[in-house]
Amino acid sequence: MTNGASSYHVFRVADGHGLRRNPLKAIIAPRPIAWVSTVSNAGIGNLAPYSFFNMVNDRPPMLMFSSIGRKDTVNNIAETGEFSISTASRSQVDVLNCTSQNFEPTVDEFDLAGLARKAASLIRPAGVAGSPAILECRSVEVRQLTTLAGQLIDTWMVIGEVLAVHLSQDCIVDGVYRTELANPVLRAGYAGDYWEIADPGKFVLDR
């Protein structure tokens, strides 16, 4: 696409996209997966992946994820104010997928999936042992989203501040955390479309 010469498919969201599949989640991509660990007030662990996830501030480090529907993860964070986010590597994708199913609040996905826990240093929820990176967080805000018209929708956004970080030594080279060595699972496109980072795909842009 050069000098605006390309033609465009244009649509107003209210009128529908006119394509075979809604393109928005394929446009805003790739997105990292947040493997969110929480513990209820009753002491029951929960682990679930979320692809509406990203960093929103640097100092202090803050991140967000959103849940379509108020699930156990959101309920636990609203109760306790704590959560842990583990990143998932390509080698963990099958067990990650296992924890994406909807289970009763009494089910601990760590136990169900046979995952080992890595104890946190400042909060109660553990991370996933073997994950490239684990972020210990406390919630800053749990908010139900609204439309422009002020109508509540069944989507919940969680903003958290990162208090402690655990990094796999396998991903650190010369004092730098190397994303390509972590080989994180990324969501891009439609249901079932996932990606990984390949080292030849990296380029450096002077800034």
Q: What is the domain partition of the chain in residue ranges?
A: 14-196
pLDDT digit string, tens, across residues 133-192:
999 999 999 999 999 999 999 999 999 999 999 999 999 999 999 999 999 999 998 888
Beta strands in 3-151 (DSSP E): 31-32, 34-39, 45-50, 53-57, 62-68, 82-86, 117-118, 127-128, 133-146
Q: Which CATH number fits domain 14-196: 2.30.110.10, 3.30.70.1060, 3.20.20.20, 2.60.40.10?
A: 2.30.110.10
Q: What amino acid occupies position 175?
A: G
DSSP assignment string, 142-193: EEEEE-TT--EEEEEEEEEEEEEEEE-GGGEETTEE-HHHH-B-EE-SSTT-
Low-confidence ranges of the chain (pLDDT < 70): 1-5, 200
What pLDDT shows up at residue 83?
A: 99
The answer to whether 25 and 17 have CB atoms below 8 angstroms apart is no
What pLDDT shows up at residue 202?
A: 74
What pLDDT shows up at residue 196?
A: 87
Tally Cβ neighbours within 10 Å of residue 140: 16
As a whole number of angstroms, the distance between CA 79 and CA 101 comes to 22
The answer to whether 179 and 172 have CB atoms below 8 angstroms apart is no
What pLDDT shows up at residue 1?
A: 42
DSSP state, residue 77: H
| Distances in whole angstroms, Cα of residue 145 to Cα of each of 72, 140, 153 | 17, 15, 6
